[in-house]
Amino acid sequence: MSKLLLVEAKLHLRDGWYLLFAIGLPLLLLQFLGKVAGPAFPALMVMLSALTLSFSVLPGVLAAYREQGVLRRMSTTPVSPLRMLTVQLVINLVVGIVATTLLVAFGPGVPRNVAGFVLVFLLGSAALMAMGLVIAAVAPNGKSAPIIGSAAMFPLMFVAGMWVPREYLPEVVRVIGDYSVAGPFAQALSATWAGQAPQLPHLLVLAAGLVVFGGLAVRVFRWE
C-alpha cells in the first residue's frame, strides 16, 4: 500500500490545481469574513474545506481514473478496491490537514479544545470522505462525479446549518441534520472550537458514517 500511496501522492501534487479551490476558497472567505461572521465561522470554513475535498475533488479524481482506463489496468494487479479507496481517503485527509492548519494559522483564533478539535476533524473528515468514496466508486467519468457530488454536498450544508443558522431551521430539518454526518460534524467542530468537549452522540454518528459509507463504497466499487 505504501508504494501505491506514494504514486498517488505524486499524481495529486502534479495535478494539484484543485488544491487552490479546496484550500484557497475557505482561506479567502475566512480572511474577508472571519472577523465579522462570528466565533463559529472558522470551524465552518474547516468543514467547507472537508466537504469540497469529499464531494468535489475525491470523486472527480477517481472517476477520471475510471474514464481513462487507469482503474481497468489496475484491476489486473493485486490492488484491491479497499486498498485503492483507502489510499484516496488518506491522501485527501492529508490535504485536509494542510488546509485546516492554514485556516488556523491565518484565522482570527485557534480552537480552545485542541485535542477535541483534532479528534472531531479527523473522524468527521474521514466520514465525509467515505460518503464521497461511494460517489467515486460508481461515477462513470470525471465530469459527472463533481456534479453528483455537488448534488449531495449542498443539501448536506443546508441541514448542517451552514446556509441558515441551525436554530432557525424547521424541526424536521434539524432532526435530519442530526443524523446526516454533516450536522454532527459541524456541531462538534463549533463546540470544540469554543472550548467544549465533543458530545458522544456526535462522535458515534461520525464513526457510524465512516464504517457504513466506507463499507458501501468498497462493495459497490467498479473498476470500469
What is the rounded CA–CA span in Å between residue 56 and residue 95?
Answer: 13
Find the radius of gyration of the CA atoms of the chain. 17
What is the rounded CA–CA span in Å between residue 27 and residue 46?
Answer: 9
Whole-Å CA distances, 192 to 136, 185, 200: 30, 11, 13
Sign of dihedral through CA atoms 167, 173, 177, 182? Answer: negative
Question: What are the pLDDT digits (tens) for 169-219?
Answer: 888 988 888 888 999 999 999 999 999 999 999 999 999 999 999 999 999
What's the predicted TM-score (pTM) here? 0.90
DSSP structural state of residue 107? S
Q: Is 36 a residue whose pLDDT tops 60?
A: no
Question: What are the pLDDT digits (tens) for 159-180?
Answer: 888 877 788 888 898 888 888 8
Which grid coordinates are listed for 10?
505524486
Share of the chain above pLDDT 70, in %: 89
What is the rounded CA–CA span in Å between residue 129 and residue 214?
Answer: 8
Residues 98-127 have a mean pLDDT of 90
Whole-Å CA distances, 84 to 123, 136, 138, 222: 20, 11, 14, 11
